[in-house]
Structure 1
Amino acid sequence: MKHLRFLNKYFYKYKWWIIPGIFFVIISNIFGVVPAQVIGHAFNLITENIQIYHLFAGFERQSIIYSLFSYSLFYFGAIVLVLYLIRGLFLFFMRQTIILMSRHIEFDMKNAIYAHYQKLSLGFYRRNNTGDLMNRATEDVNRVRMYVGPAIMYTINTAVLFLLIISSMYSVNATLATFCLLPLPVLVVTIYFVNTLINKKSEEIQQQLSRLSSFVQERFSGIRVIKSYVREDHTKKVFAGESEAYKKNSMGLVKVQAFFYPTMLLLVGLSTILTVYIGGKQVISGSITAGNIAEFIVYVNQLTFPVTMLGWVTTLIQRAAASQKRINEFLELKPDIVSGTMELKSFEGNIRFDQVSFTYPDTGITALKNVSFEIKKGQFAAIIGRTGSGKSTLANLMMRMYDVDSGNITIDRHPIKNLQLGPYRNQIGFVPQEVFLFSDTIKNNIAFGLDQVEQQEVEMAARNAAVYQNIINFDLKFETMLGERGITLSGGQKQRVSIARALIKEPGILIFDDCLSAVDTKTEEEILGNLGRIMKGKTSILIAHRISTIKNADVIIVLEDGQIIEQGTHQELLELNGSYKEMYQNQLLEEESTTATEL
């Protein structure tokens, strides 16, 4: 139960739902126990008046006794009916408080988990797959809701009912009550041992369900690759294997429950037998009446449902504990990136790296080693290098998606760690290497970074990104709905929509992380021309593979194995006769070869 202590704050928050709920539980159970006493009196009335009725056989008074007897039975029946109607009303109130409270807690928990997820850094998402994250925020939360709602409701209901019934039993006859409740210790021991199995199997089920969800989510996202390589049958077999493992774990839990419930019913049945046997002997000795036996049988039957529910409630609690443990694992994680307190009111755009080194914590790969450079306000800077040289890492560090291991990064001469994270990132236009578009309209994807935007602004951003003409060719134009991850668009169109999303913010710093790779040369020149006009006086950083893209940059940084090996303008780097010139010549040869092939 230690993992479920996390929920105490919610119980305190909704105490004015729990307290009336407990009150309604108590009242409903009182009106559930009293009918047993009424039935006991009615049974005594029947046994006593039947004898009197037979004594007056052949006399006129027999009809009068019959009328009184019928009226009394009707009276007792009406009382029982009214009592159960009142109980039903309070049961309704009980569910309207406790069950509704559980829905509010579910709502709060999902919001809290989602908000916490967004605070965690990129490293967290690199270490955990999407399916598992989704499962903890949905399926696990739902299992916890079943604990804070039905489980708690039935637990309180069972506890109150037990107290009322046991006290009523002992007030009638202690000996009969003791024998009637004799199977209860066996019940407690059974629950103790079964709980361990339920807890273990519940954790296994949740873990397997996360793996299954992750597998399905990943395969549906990569369906194009699966179809291209004709791997449908293979993925179907793997899915069947994962489903089989989930079924096996679930069936294991079902088998435990299948043993548990009949055992509960057996013990309740044993209580009934003991009641009839011991009660019969008590009636013969004159200690109790036959009506008391009827009353006790009603009590035992009233305990049957709570006792059988005890197994279900136990399962709910154990599964909720397993789920809450999984939820707590992530909620207890602290963000790697902590926002500073300084807010830059005027953003110039001076960027300085001073002996920066960085190693990815999840892979152990050293991406940067003692990197130092400076980009001044209004400069167009370019970063180039082979694959794996650390170019994208520089962009992620500028965005403060990660913190450096050593060295310092300053923005306008202020350490980046001291700046407020939200306002700082809001002044940067970032176009990542892996373009991601949402399943929404093109307009909303372009305007994603702004709360309010005019249609003219969206259209201007699209023009500047050289994607306007493509968009208006669609039937719904800017209202065209995109498929998952923007699958409706081609690779080049997705890149340009992503560029428009960054440009519409009119950022103080613009970072392009190799986002022109799927764009043809003519379109690239148009975008760069627009970029030069829009970002005039502002800092622009372009990460690229093609030298033709960056040759007009004010400063070009050449990376290799996480280190700066050359730095300068295009002409200066060519004069060095180093790696940059080698890359430039190789690309010229590739272009000439491509041109010759086309001719």
Structure 2
Amino acid sequence: MKELKHLNKYFKKYWFKLLLGILITIIARVFSLIMPSYVNKSIQAIEQFMAKNISMDQAKEFLFQYILIIVGAAILSGLFTFLMRQTIINVSRYIEYDLKNEVFDHYQILNLNFYKKNRIGDLMNRISEDINQVRMYGGPAIMYGIQTLTLFVCLIPLMFIKAPTLAAYTLLPLPILSVLIYQISRIIHTRSTKVQEFLSTLSTFTQESFSGVAVIKAYSLEPKINAEIQDLAQEGKDTSMDLAKVNAWFFPLMILLIGISNIFVIYIGGKQYINGEITSIGIIAEFILYVNMLTWPVAVVGWLTSIVQRAEASQKRINEFLKVEPSIKNEVTQTTPIKGNIEFRNVTFTYEDTNITALDNISFKIDAGQTVAFLGKTGSGKSTILDMVARLYDATSGEVLIDGTPIQKLNLNSLRSAIGAVPQDAFLFSDTIENNIRFGDETATLEEIKEVAKKAVVHKNIEGFSKKYNTVLGERGITLSGGQKQRVSIARALLKNPRIYLFDDCLSAVDTETEEEILNNLKQLSEDKTTLIVSHRVSSAKNADKIIVLENGKIIQEGTHEELNNVDGYYKELYLSQLSEKE
């Protein structure tokens, strides 16, 4: 159970509710023990009446009292059982809530490499299915464990006090039942782990299929995907059936061995009654009730083992991720104001997952308020520069400085709050257009949202929708065209009004006229802002204060549009090529 030690902090947090729940559980079980003895007394009262030892009125009086006690004890037991579930089961839900938040918060601080190495379906399965298995340990396992322990402690001594020989025969099959169920639980643990792992695979496959449905349809891959999902479904069925076959032994074994206990009670008890070793037939009825009260607790011993083993396996999978240390850490607690000066000093960066060196010993300076454009072929390192300014990655060697301070010595929240980023692959949430833009500033009014939408040249498009700004987008903004998604993302960044703008090829899906209009608006809005533009188009870069041309992670040209256009090189060739295309 070493992996489950992670939950001890939550047990400590909710110790009072747990302690109260345990106390209520004990009280509920004690009240449930009252009924069998008074059933015995009721039968004895009838026997005494039949033997003419008491009158009819006395027998009725005794039976009425015993029935009231039985009903009262049952009501109190039911009430305390309800309170037990309201305390212990609720605690398990609190633990589930806290653990999900802990895992999600940890997911958020992990660096991008983590998400490149792990599949989304697996991440989702660990925060849902695995945590649900752990919840069973934090609630039902404790509740039924205390119930079982209370019954064993109270009931077994009571049975031996009343009829030692009968008790010994009655309890004989129960340890066998417990051992068998324990062995079954071990097999269940192994097979349920396989089921959990399969669910991760299935979640990943379906998530990728739904996200890439446009590609699947475009390439007529439906038959191939259907065949793959059928294979997965078959594998899932086989895995689940292996588990179900073992689970099928659980209750039949329990019923069989409890039935044997009942036979022992009737046979041994009957012989003892005939031989005069027990004085009342009521003791037999009492013991039958005891056996049936022990049925579930004895079975629970194995079932609890299964719950704990499943929780252990699931918590181990959760801990694997919780133990992953984020490579990007916020080591500064106080806020740090950002002006917008950026400097790269001999920066080299190599991607951990591919071992590709994206930046190779580059250096440059950008003053606050400057607009700098980065051009170059695909894979030249342009986007990596923007990622490093936002500190999504740290340099392998060299230094990135913001306002003359190494980026690691800045408060990470202050840095990112001062940045408005528009990624190359515009991401929009499945929400209204208004809320997607308001993501840049949660306090913004609708008029402010419309104003930035106009600057991003997307206002007319939005007004053309039937629900306008209340139009709900599909997942990842699938309702909009590529150009519309990019412009909504630009509007979101403009609404944030940051100190630093990062535009990563965010006009690639718009026409040249719209691009020109957006760039003119951006120039007005970013006069005192530091703006970094990554583009493949000279038209997006020519008005920048400085243009940096990259190739294979190195700076090969640097200067203004006029300076670079007057010398032979990559920039002039690109400019002439795109100019001829435009003409």
Per the normalisation by structure 1, the TM-score is 0.92
Is 1:444 equivalent to 2:435 in the alignment? yes
Is this contact kept in 1: 2:182–2:302, CA < 8 A?
Answer: no
Question: 2:452 is matched with which residue?
Answer: 461
Q: List gaps (5 residues or longer) in structure 1.
A: 54-63, 593-599
Cα deviation for residue 346 of structure 1 reads 4.4
CA deviation string 1:170-211 (max 9, x = no partner)? 212333322222223323432332232122112111111111
Write the letter of the residue equivalent to 1:518. Answer: A
Give the one of 133, 139, 149 matched to 2:139: 149
Give the one of 376, 381, 391 matched to 2:367: 376
Question: 1:42 is matched with which residue?
Answer: 42
Q: Cα 1:347–1:6, aligned 2, differ >3 Å: closer, same or farther?
A: closer
Could you tell me how far apart the structure 2 residues matched to 1:345 and 1:192 are?
58
Q: 2:501 aligns to what SS in structure 1?
A: strand
Q: Identify which range, 393-402 or 331-340, moves more after superposition.
A: 331-340
Write the letter of the residue equivalent to 2:555. Answer: I
Question: 1:214 is matched with which residue?
Answer: 204
Could you tell me how far apart the structure 2 residues matched to 1:322 and 1:250 are?
17
Could you tell me how far apart the structure 1 residues matched to 2:78 and 2:274 are?
37
Q: 2:220 aligns to what SS in structure 1?
A: coil
Is 1:127 equivalent to 2:126 in the alignment? no
Could you tell me how far apart the structure 1 residues matched to 2:151 and 2:315 are?
29
Write the letter of the residue equivalent to 1:271. Answer: S
Is this contact kept in 1: 2:178–2:299, CA < 8 A?
Answer: no
Is 1:490 equivalent to 2:478 in the alignment? no
Question: What is the Cα-based RMSD across aligned positions, in Å?
Answer: 2.0
Write the letter of the residue equivalent to 1:34. Answer: I
Is 1:582 equivalent to 2:549 in the alignment? no
Write the letter of the residue equivalent to 2:509. Answer: A
Cα deviation for residue 168 of structure 1 reads 0.7
Give the one of 158, 166, 176 matched to 1:168: 158
Q: Cα 1:533–1:342, aligned 2, differ >3 Å: closer, same or farther?
A: farther
Cα deviation for residue 95 of structure 1 reads 1.2
Could you tell me how far apart the structure 2 residues matched to 1:545 and 1:258 are?
63
Write the letter of the residue equivalent to 2:20. Answer: P
Write the letter of the residue equivalent to 1:187. Answer: L
Is 1:28 equivalent to 2:19 in the alignment? no
Cα deviation for residue 311 of structure 1 reads 4.5
Q: Cα 1:537–1:31, aligned 2, differ >3 Å: closer, same or farther?
A: closer
Q: Identify which range, 316-325 or 203-212, moves more after superposition.
A: 316-325
Q: 1:69 aligns to what SS in structure 2?
A: helix
Write the letter of the residue equivalent to 1:145. Answer: R
Give the one of 104, 121, 126 matched to 2:94: 104
Q: Identify which range, 408-417 or 283-292, moves more after superposition.
A: 283-292
Question: 1:9 is matched with which residue?
Answer: 9
Could you tell me how far apart the structure 2 residues matched to 1:546 and 1:97 are?
64
Question: 1:251 is matched with which residue?
Answer: 241
Q: 1:348 aligns to what SS in structure 2?
A: coil
Q: Cα 1:342–1:68, aligned 2, differ >3 Å: closer, same or farther?
A: closer
Could you tell me how far apart the structure 2 residues matched to 1:25 and 1:378 are?
68
Write the letter of the residue equivalent to 1:94. Answer: M
Q: List gaps (5 residues or longer) in structure 2.
A: none
Cα deviation for residue 387 of structure 1 reads 0.9
Is this contact kept in 2: 1:198–1:318, CA < 8 A?
Answer: no
Matches within 5 A, 1:549-564: 549-564=540-555
Cα deviation for residue 397 of structure 1 reads 0.8
Is 1:316 equivalent to 2:307 in the alignment? yes
Q: 1:566 aligns to what SS in structure 2?
A: strand
Question: 2:231 is matched with which residue?
Answer: 241
Could you tell me how far apart the structure 2 residues matched to 1:243 and 1:457 are?
50
Q: Identify which range, 215-224 or 274-283, moves more after superposition.
A: 274-283
Is 1:260 equivalent to 2:262 in the alignment? no
Q: Identify which range, 259-268 or 200-209, moves more after superposition.
A: 259-268
CA deviation string 1:407-437 (max 9, x = no partner)? 1000011000110011111111111001001
Q: Identify which range, 520-529 or 306-315, moves more after superposition.
A: 306-315
Write the letter of the residue equivalent to 2:138. Answer: V
Could you tell me how far apart the structure 2 residues matched to 1:577 and 1:324 are?
62
Q: 1:504 aligns to what SS in structure 2?
A: helix
Is 1:295 equivalent to 2:289 in the alignment? no
Q: Cα 1:90–1:344, aligned 2, differ >3 Å: closer, same or farther?
A: closer
Is 1:500 equivalent to 2:508 in the alignment? no
Question: 2:522 is matched with which residue?
Answer: 531
Is 1:355 equivalent to 2:352 in the alignment? no
Could you tell me how far apart the structure 1 residues matched to 2:10 and 2:524 are?
54
Could you tell me how far apart the structure 1 residues matched to 2:570 and 2:20 are?
77
Q: 2:442 aligns to what SS in structure 1?
A: coil
Is this contact kept in 2: 1:342–1:418, CA < 8 A?
Answer: no
Q: 2:532 aligns to what SS in structure 1?
A: strand
Could you tell me how far apart the structure 2 residues matched to 1:268 and 1:590 are?
87
Write the letter of the residue equivalent to 1:85. Answer: I
Is this contact kept in 2: 1:257–1:311, CA < 8 A?
Answer: no
Q: 1:162 aligns to what SS in structure 2?
A: helix
Q: Cα 1:538–1:76, aligned 2, differ >3 Å: closer, same or farther?
A: closer
Question: 1:232 is matched with which residue?
Answer: 222
Question: 1:386 is matched with which residue?
Answer: 377
Per the normalisation by structure 2, the TM-score is 0.95
Q: 1:519 aligns to what SS in structure 2?
A: coil
Is this contact kept in 1: 2:32–2:73, CA < 8 A?
Answer: yes
Q: 2:429 aligns to what SS in structure 1?
A: coil
Q: Cα 1:346–1:260, aligned 2, differ >3 Å: closer, same or farther?
A: closer
Cα deviation for residue 541 of structure 1 reads 0.8
Is this contact kept in 2: 1:265–1:308, CA < 8 A?
Answer: no
Cα deviation for residue 585 of structure 1 reads 3.2
Q: 1:368 aligns to what SS in structure 2?
A: strand
Question: 1:413 is matched with which residue?
Answer: 404
Question: 1:83 is matched with which residue?
Answer: 73
Question: 2:296 is matched with which residue?
Answer: 305
Q: 2:123 aligns to what SS in structure 1?
A: helix
Write the letter of the residue equivalent to 2:503. Answer: F
Q: 2:244 aligns to what SS in structure 1?
A: helix
Could you tell me how far apart the structure 2 residues matched to 1:85 and 1:390 are?
73
Could you tell me how far apart the structure 1 residues matched to 2:80 and 2:410 are?
56
Could you tell me how far apart the structure 1 residues matched to 2:319 and 2:202 are?
21
Q: 1:288 aligns to what SS in structure 2?
A: coil
Could you tell me how far apart the structure 2 residues matched to 1:428 and 1:83 are?
67
Q: Cα 1:70–1:127, aligned 2, differ >3 Å: closer, same or farther?
A: same
Question: 1:60 is matched with which residue?
Answer: none
Could you tell me how far apart the structure 1 residues matched to 2:503 and 2:217 are?
32
Could you tell me how far apart the structure 2 residues matched to 1:486 and 1:173 are?
74
Cα deviation for residue 342 of structure 1 reads 6.9
Q: 2:508 aligns to what SS in structure 1?
A: coil
Give the one of 149, 166, 191 matched to 1:159: 149
Give the one of 409, 427, 431 matched to 2:422: 431
Q: 1:52 aligns to what SS in structure 2?
A: coil
Question: 1:195 is matched with which residue?
Answer: 185
Matches within 5 A, 1:53-68: 65-68=55-58
Question: 1:57 is matched with which residue?
Answer: none
**What is the aligned-residue identity percentage?**
51
Could you tell me how far apart the structure 2 residues matched to 1:255 and 1:419 are?
58
Could you tell me how far apart the structure 2 residues matched to 1:85 and 1:553 are?
81
Is 1:396 equivalent to 2:387 in the alignment? yes
Q: Cα 1:344–1:16, aligned 2, differ >3 Å: closer, same or farther?
A: closer
Is 1:478 equivalent to 2:469 in the alignment? yes
Is this contact kept in 2: 1:105–1:145, CA < 8 A?
Answer: yes
CA deviation string 1:523-550 (max 9, x = no partner)? 1111111111111132111100011221
Could you tell me how far apart the structure 1 residues matched to 2:334 and 2:152 are?
61
Is this contact kept in 2: 1:260–1:311, CA < 8 A?
Answer: no
Give the one of 102, 108, 120 matched to 1:118: 108
Could you tell me how far apart the structure 2 residues matched to 1:317 and 1:412 are?
54
Cα deviation for residue 589 of structure 1 reads 4.1
Q: Identify which range, 102-111 or 342-351, moves more after superposition.
A: 342-351
Cα deviation for residue 309 of structure 1 reads 4.1
Give the one of 499, 503, 506 matched to 1:512: 503
